[in-house]
Amino acid sequence: MTASPIDASTDPDDLLTGLDPTDERLAAMHARFAETALGVGAVDVAYRTLDSPVGLLLLCATDVGVLRVAFEIEGHDTVLDRLASTVSPRIVEAPSRLDTVARELDEYFRGERRAFDLPLDRRLSTGFQRTVLEHLPDIGYGSTASYTAVALASGSPRAVRAVGTACATNPLPLVVPCHRVVRSDGTAGNYRGGMAAKQILIDLEARA
């Protein structure tokens, strides 16, 4: 049977009528759309999700590098909406664009990777927060540092509270290891993915 032609007046929603969300045809259509959009430079932010020991992660990247890693607790749709308003509305789910990011994270969670080799898009971090976050990779795998120590290393020894805020709002958790910053008494402290997720990561690194 010959398919009906699609013209400019065709409502995109009509193309999906009758398709179950789990239908392989729908997934194939989306994949073709994503690849075409990427090929013509019509995508500014690509994203995918990844199952992990700390829940389903949202991974987002631009041509520059990894832009955002988000936990379920943050609300993935909320994160994408914010990126659409602050970075670009041209956001497309394109898993293949983030294959390397997903692979390195999988290796990390299996205890096979201790540092990430990924380009980063740091535009969501500015000022003192960016200074703090750029220091965090200096805290070795399996080690921790106090908020006080990080404030000192960042050149502002009195800015302990600001260090806590910088870590708690880190747009690139895991990749930029804010989970290695703890309270002076050794307890985990606040974390964007929740305190339970932070403890899981600390314990994972301690076992390796």
Distance CA 140, CA 160 (A): 20
Rounded Cα distance, 7 and 14, in Å = 12
Residue 71 CA from chain centroid, whole number: 8
Spatial CA neighbour of 131 closest among 139, 122, 140: 122
Task: State which amino acid sits at residue 92.
Answer: V
Known catalytic residue at 167 = no
The catalytic position among 178, 181, 200, 201 is 178
Widest CA span in the chain? 73
Following CA atoms 50, 86, 123, 180 in sequence, which dihedral angle do they give, to the nearest 10 degrees?
-50
- The helix, strand and coil proportions of the chain, stated in percent and rounded to the nearest 5, come to 45, 10, 45
Tokens found for residue 42? 């019509």
3-state secondary structure of 46: strand
| DSSP symbol at 100 | H
Catalytic residues: 178
